[in-house]
């Protein structure tokens, strides 16, 4: 537990949920890019495998009121350790050192790891957030492009002989194959984190998860994982085995899964794609997706961040 003038930084507690919901509501009223969250959504988010029950989350409290939140998880990116974080600050307490204090607390979690880097996301039109990151030495390394599809464009994908696209009714049974494909297909992405079989099994068992695969006989060559909600179909991931890319499998897989889901204005499809993945963005445009917004990914080494924060005192 760490004290600073006027407020206290401490670990997240289970009874913080209602206060977190209120914080998100206040922050999203000021910045629509943050968006509100329900108690159920927050509980589910904290319990996601990579968040480990929120053990690395920190909150700022003043007079028993929660005024700031740092979501934080340590991720393995093909042998590189990256701490991904997100700051949510009460609008009435911005520019008062709350975000800086929370970030210092995160730095202390792995203070001896000189190879660690920090990553975060910020909307391209959030000037205050971008200025805060750039003052601390964060560099823009890529963007997440959000796309929406209101009407799926007709396609005639051609698959190689003996290759089929199909939906898997009990997706958690394929957790090992899906985890291996994910780890191989995304290993070089700046946002990559490795999934264990257990983590993938937990994700695939969640309500609303839909899994489609493209296979050659009994061998899975790629998968498409979607999260289906009443008013939105979210395309979470499409991964094709690196040895079988550029064969049209991704297009056939995406088109088959989205066509079966039923895309229309009342239930559009959404996804995020990296700004550096030109092939994927081109494929999604052909399917009828259009760009909605850009969120920038920023990164800095822990050593550089420590130095910048020392200078900023």
pLDDT at residue number 190: 80
* Domain of residue 21, residue span: 2-143+296-311
Kindly state the tokens that stand for 133.
């990151």
| Residues 36 and 113 grouped into a single domain | yes
Statement: the pTM of the whole predicted model exceeds 0.95: no
pLDDT at residue number 3: 46
Q: Give the range among 9-18, 27-36, 212-221, 271-280 with minimum mean pLDDT.
A: 27-36
E-assigned strand segments in 105-208: 117-123, 139-149, 163-168
Q: Which residues sit opposite 123 in a β-bridge? A: 295
Looking at the structure of the chain, the number of domains it has is 2
Tell me how far apart the alpha carbons of residues 305 and 58 are, in angstroms, rounded to a whole number. Answer: 18
Q: Which residues sit opposite 296 in a β-bridge? A: 122, 143
pLDDT at residue number 5: 57
pLDDT at residue number 110: 87
Higher pLDDT, 276 or 32: 276
pLDDT at residue number 312: 61
Q: In this predicted model, what pLDDT tens digit does every residue of 75-112 receive, in sequence order?
A: 877 677 899 999 999 999 988 899 999 999 999 998 88
| Residues 224 and 96 grouped into a single domain | no
Q: What is the mean pLDDT of the chain?
A: 91
> In CATH, what number is assigned to the domain containing residue 204?
3.40.630.30
| Residues 179 and 64 grouped into a single domain | no
Q: Is the pLDDT of residue 4 over 50?
A: no
pLDDT at residue number 207: 87
Q: Which residues sit opposite 163 in a β-bridge? A: 216
Q: Is the pLDDT of residue 194 over 90?
A: no
pLDDT at residue number 78: 65
- Rounded to an integer, the average pLDDT of 178-192 is 89
The dihedral sign for the CA sequence 149, 290, 87, 82: positive
| Residues 29 and 88 grouped into a single domain | yes
Tell me how far apart the alpha carbons of residues 94 and 98 are, in angstroms, rounded to a whole number. Answer: 7
Q: Which residues sit opposite 61 in a β-bridge? A: 8, 66
Q: In this predicted model, what pLDDT tens digit does every residue of 124-156 receive, in sequence order?
A: 888 888 898 999 999 999 999 999 999 999 999
Tell me how far apart the alpha carbons of residues 98 and 105 are, in angstroms, rounded to a whole number. Answer: 11
Distances (CA, A) of 304 to 56, 98, 135, 189, 311: 21, 20, 12, 22, 11
- In sequence order, what are the residues at sequence separation of 6 or more whose Cβ sits closer than 8 angstroms to the Cβ of residue 177? 220, 223
Kindly state the tokens that stand for 246.
């550029």
pLDDT at residue number 65: 95
């Amino acid at each position: 537990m760490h004290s600073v003038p006027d407020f206290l930084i401490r670990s997240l507690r289970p009874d913080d949920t209602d206060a977190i919901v209120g914080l998100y509501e206040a922050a999203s009223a000021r910045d629509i890019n943050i968006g509100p969250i329900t108690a159920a959504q927050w509980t589910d988010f904290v319990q996601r495998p990579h968040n480990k029950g929120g053990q690395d989350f920190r909150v700022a409290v003043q007079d028993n009121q929660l005024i700031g939140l740092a979501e934080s998880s340590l991720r393995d990116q093909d042998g590189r350790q990256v701490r991904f974080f997100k700051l949510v600050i009460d609008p009435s307490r911005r520019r008062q050192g709350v975000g800086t204090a929370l970030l210092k607390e995160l730095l202390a979690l792995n203070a001896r790891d000189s190879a660690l880097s920090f990553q975060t996301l910020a909307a391209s039109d959030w000037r205050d957030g971008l200025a805060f990151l750039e003052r601390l030495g964060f560099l823009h390394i890529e963007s997440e492009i959000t796309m929406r599809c209101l009407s799926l464009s007709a396609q005639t994908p051609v698959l190689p002989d003996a290759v089929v696209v199909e939906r898997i009714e009990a997706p958690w049974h394929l957790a090992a194959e899906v985890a291996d494909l994910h780890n191989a297909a995304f290993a070089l992405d700046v946002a990559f984190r490795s999934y264990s079989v257990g983590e993938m099994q937990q994700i695939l068992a969640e309500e609303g998860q839909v899994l489609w695969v493209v296979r050659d006989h009994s061998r899975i060559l790629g998968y498409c994982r979607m999260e289906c909600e009443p008013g939105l179909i979210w395309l979470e991931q499409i991964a094709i085995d690196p040895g079988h890319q550029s064969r049209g499998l991704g297009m056939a897989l995406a088109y088959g899964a989205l066509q079966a889901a039923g895309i229309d204005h009342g239930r559009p499809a959404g996804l995020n794609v990296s700004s550096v993945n030109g092939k994927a963005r081109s494929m999604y445009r052909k399917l009828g997706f259009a760009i909605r917004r850009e969120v920038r990914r920023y990164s800095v080494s822990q050593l550089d961040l420590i130095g910048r924060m020392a200078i900023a005192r």
